[in-house]
């Protein structure tokens, strides 16, 4: 009974490690793409930076979870995880077009800017996850 319960453990570990690696890659790419240093701001207790980055991370994790659920292979998961990453970076840049001083506002602790970016990231992630029906 235990052996059959653990039959999928190897697949779990592969997909989990891939997902953690993709999250790490996402955070690295996102923080390079943004015009402010999220982690430095978070260390300084700037709530707006934590809010924007946190919602963005959830907006990435939702389609990544969908990719894991729908993937036939590890390559499927990787490709669709990278699509999810690209969508979130695109959302950040689109919000920056609508709000050119976005990074300065977030760095200055303005919650309105952070919540708008976070909500846009989360909405894009939800739509992206739903669209992943491959």
Q: Per-residue pLDDT tens for 21-53?
A: 999 999 999 999 998 999 999 999 999 999 999
Q: Per-residue pLDDT tens for 75-95?
A: 999 999 999 999 999 999 999
69 vs 63: CA distance, rounded Å: 10
Q: What share of the chain is helix, strand, coil (3-state, %, to 5)?
A: 85, 0, 15
Asked whether the predicted pLDDT for residue 1 surpasses 70, the reply is: no
What's the pLDDT score for residue 105? 97
């Amino acid at each position: 009974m235990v052996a059959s319960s653990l039959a999928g453990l190897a697949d779990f570990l592969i997909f989990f490690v891939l997902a953690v690696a993709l999250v790490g890659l996402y955070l690295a790419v996102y923080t390079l793409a943004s015009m402010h240093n999220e982690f430095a701001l978070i260390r300084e207790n700037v709530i707006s930076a934590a809010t924007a980055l946190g919602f963005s991370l959830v907006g990435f994790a939702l389609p990544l979870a969908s990719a894991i659920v729908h993937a036939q292979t590890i390559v499927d998961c990787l490709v669709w995880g990278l699509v999810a990453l690209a969508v979130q970076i695109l959302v950040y840049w689109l919000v920056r077009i609508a709000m050119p001083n976005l990074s300065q506002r977030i760095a200055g602790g303005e919650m309105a800017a952070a919540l708008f970016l976070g909500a846009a990231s989360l909405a894009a992630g939800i739509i992206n996850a739903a669209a992943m029906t491959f």
